[in-house]
Each structure stands twice: as C-alpha cells, then as structure tokens.
Amino acid sequence: MKADPEIMERAFSSHFADSPLHIAALYRKADFVEQIVTRMPSLATKTNQKGMIPLHFASSKGHVETVRELLKAKLDDDDGVNQCLVKDDEGWSPLHCASQKGKIRVMES
C-alpha cells in the first residue's frame, strides 16, 4: 500500500463475491482489517453477493479482535449505517451469526 497508494481504490472498484476486507475478517487478519478501515472506512459496510458485510464473517468465526477493528470504522453520519444492525439476505445480523455459532465472546464485546 505504501508503494502504490491507489491500489485499494483499484482493488475495491472491481466486483468480488467477497472483498479483500471480507477475506481478512474471515481469516482473523485484524492488523490488515485495521489498515483497510483506516484508509477506506466505508468498505466495512460493503456487502457481498449474499448481503453480508465483513462483520458477519468475523462474528460468525468468533474473531473478537477483528470484530473490534471493524467496529472502529469511522463511518459518515450521513450513511446512517450501524454495522451491528446490517442484515444479510437471510435476515441475519452479525449478532445472529455469532449467536448461532456459539461465539459468546463476540456477543459480549
């Protein structure tokens, strides 16, 4: 990212089933998640083809530190989006995902 500051804009302008932020959240890459949401916080609320945001992935896997990094995303007040309330195509919020998988530590965070 230091060598090519425009790389994130190019990478995220393409359509993916899951974005690099979704993948980082899935695989407990809290440090990478922090870097992405610091530079482009709006990516935290971008949905994949199933209507899931990265917080759904991190919550269902029980990745507490990754969940915390995602929730630090400084979203514009105009967006009016609360990541915790975003429902996927099945009507599940990230909290539902954590609950269904028994990820108590995520629910307590």
DSSP 44: G
Per-residue pLDDT of the chain (109 residues; tens, 9 = 90+): 667 666 556 555 555 578 889 999 999 999 999 999 998 888 899 999 899 999 999 999 999 999 999 999 988 765 668 999 999 999 999 999 999 999 999 998 8
- Domain 7-102: give its CATH code: 1.25.40.20
Measured between alpha carbons, how far is residue 53 from residues 4, 29, 44, 49, 60 in Å? Answer: 26, 15, 7, 10, 12
Query: What residue spans define the domains of the chain?
Result: 7-102
- Look up residue 71 and give its two tokens: 């929730």
Predicted structure pTM score? 0.83
